[in-house]
Amino acid sequence: MPEPGSQSGEALLRGSVLVLLQFDVCEAIRLDLLQELVSARKVDKPSMKHPAPGYVRYQRPPVVVPADPLVLESGERLQGEIKYFDYGVLSVVFELPFVGDWDKLIGLASRWVWDVDFAAQATAIVRASLGRAAPALIKPYDEWLSEDYLIFHVREIAGSPSVTELIQKHGPRIAQVVRGDTGQLAESECNEVLQSRISYYANDLAVIGWNAAFLYDTTPGAEMAVQLLEYANSQLLEFRYYDDLLTEELERVYTLLDKGTGILARWRLARSATRLHTVLLDVAELTEHADNAIKFLSDMFAARLYKLAALKVGVPDYKDLVTRKVRTAEELYRFMVDQFNQSRAFFLEVTVVIILVVELVYLFRGNVF
């Protein structure tokens, strides 16, 4: 039976689709200098869903600048903005208003999740913005890592269903949106998707997937979820960078060790050990910087929402990889230092022996020093 307010038998949906793009462009960004270079504003803190004393606070609020519109090959025109985070990540958020039924939303999700390379299409816009911000960038990278994420934010559904009603009536469709799949999903797969949901009120819902999320909430209510998803993806990007950096450094050290551990090789380990130690210090500093960029002060719902978002996009997995490689690098560093110290001690012993031999030779030849 057709639902009220819909001529086609589908619930009418109103909202927008958000495209989150993250680019790791440099080691750090001087936000104070950036504000002097471009017309920008700071993001103080996400708005809260409830009047609680606690809140979410940025340690160093990102700087926001307007972005040029992104026009897709389909003709869709997305408006956006760019956020500069002090730990070297640039985040672009594009938005397209949406009005239609579930089938239209599912079709859009499938096309955008799998068929549109947003990072490639937004590169020119990002480079233009970076050109203006160049003096504020510290150690810019030649090649960028990137992450993209889609958020399907529905503000209104005909009939204003509660979360319970929405899940009962449209749970499988929500799962299709999050998965970006037009096919009818198995019940087990729908349940798997819908397990990653969280609500604060009876009429708001967030279903988080690894590359897309579905939000049913007002615009102010969804703001916090959008910012936390944005932050989780930026953290994923940072840990991916650390993982690549450590992998490259460990491979270089293994190659050096494979060449042998003779006297000369051990002396060469000193320079490599110093470089490896510098990398470890950089990783520790940057990891702590990114990890502490946002604080949860007594807002348990925000903390739970972030934990769910980080888990689904893969932040803990990459963080564990980085942690394990840091431990391996630390063990290698200690080994290399030990090898160098042994070589130095051996060299000193040989030097002392040579001096003694020379003295003995001169002594037996009748020369007195």
Alpha helices in the chain (DSSP H): 31-37, 102-114, 118-133, 163-179, 187-194, 219-258, 263-291, 300-313, 315-364
Q: What percent of the chain is modeled with pLDDT above 70?
A: 80
CB 44 within 8 A of CB 63: no
Q: How far is CA 314 from CA 235, 242, 307, 308, 337, in A?
A: 10, 14, 11, 10, 35
* Cα dihedral 196/200/203/205 (nearest 10): -20
Q: What is the mean predicted confidence (pLDDT) over 23-48?
A: 78
pLDDT single digits (tens) 188-244? 999 999 999 999 999 999 999 999 999 999 998 899 899 899 989 988 998 898 888
Residue 369 has pLDDT above 60, yes or no: no
Query: Which conformational region is residue 154 in: left (phi greater than 0), alpha (psi within -120 to 50 degrees), or beta?
Result: beta
Question: Rounded to an integer, what distance in angstroms lies between the CA atom of residue 152 and that of residue 14?
Answer: 10
Query: Whole-prediction pTM value?
Result: 0.82
**What local confidence, expressed as pLDDT, does residue 146 receive?**
93
The total of other beta-carbon atoms located within 10 Å of residue 124's CB is: 11
Question: Rounded to an integer, what distance in angstroms lies between the CA atom of residue 79 and that of residue 293?
Answer: 26
Residue 141 has pLDDT above 60, yes or no: yes
**What local confidence, expressed as pLDDT, does residue 273 receive?**
72
Give the distance between the most distant pair of CA atoms in the chain. Answer: 119
Residue of 84, 65, 79 lying closest to 23 (CA atoms) = 84
Phi, psi of 212 (to 5 degrees): -160, 160
93 or 324, higher pLDDT: 93
Question: Rounded to an integer, what distance in angstroms lies between the CA atom of residue 86 and that of residue 28?
Answer: 6
How much is the mean pLDDT over the chain? 83
Q: What percent of the chain is modeled with pLDDT above 90?
A: 46
What's 8's DSSP letter?
A: S
- Using 50, 70 and 90 to split pLDDT, how confident is the model at 48? low
Question: Rounded to an integer, what distance in angstroms lies between the CA atom of residue 362 and that of residue 357?
Answer: 9
pLDDT single digits (tens) 78-127? 999 999 998 899 999 999 999 999 999 999 999 999 999 999 999 999 99
**What local confidence, expressed as pLDDT, does residue 302 receive?**
86
- Using 50, 70 and 90 to split pLDDT, how confident is the model at 15? very high
Residue recorded with tokens 């026009």:
71
Cβ neighbours of residue 53 under 8 Å, at least 6 residues apart? 298
- Using 50, 70 and 90 to split pLDDT, how confident is the model at 328? confident
The total of other beta-carbon atoms located within 10 Å of residue 293's CB is: 20
* Cα dihedral 67/133/284/332 (nearest 10): 110
Q: What is the mean predicted confidence (pLDDT) over 138-145?
A: 92
What's 159's DSSP letter?
A: T
Q: How far out from the chain centre does Cα 231 lie?
A: 7
CB 80 within 8 A of CB 94: yes
Question: Rounded to an integer, what distance in angstroms lies between the CA atom of residue 38 and that of residue 7?
Answer: 48
Strand pairing class (212-216; 137-157): parallel
- Using 50, 70 and 90 to split pLDDT, how confident is the model at 8? very low
Give burial (CB, 10 Å; 0-12/13-18/19+) of 63: buried
96 in helix, strand or coil?
strand
End-to-end CA distance of the chain: 113
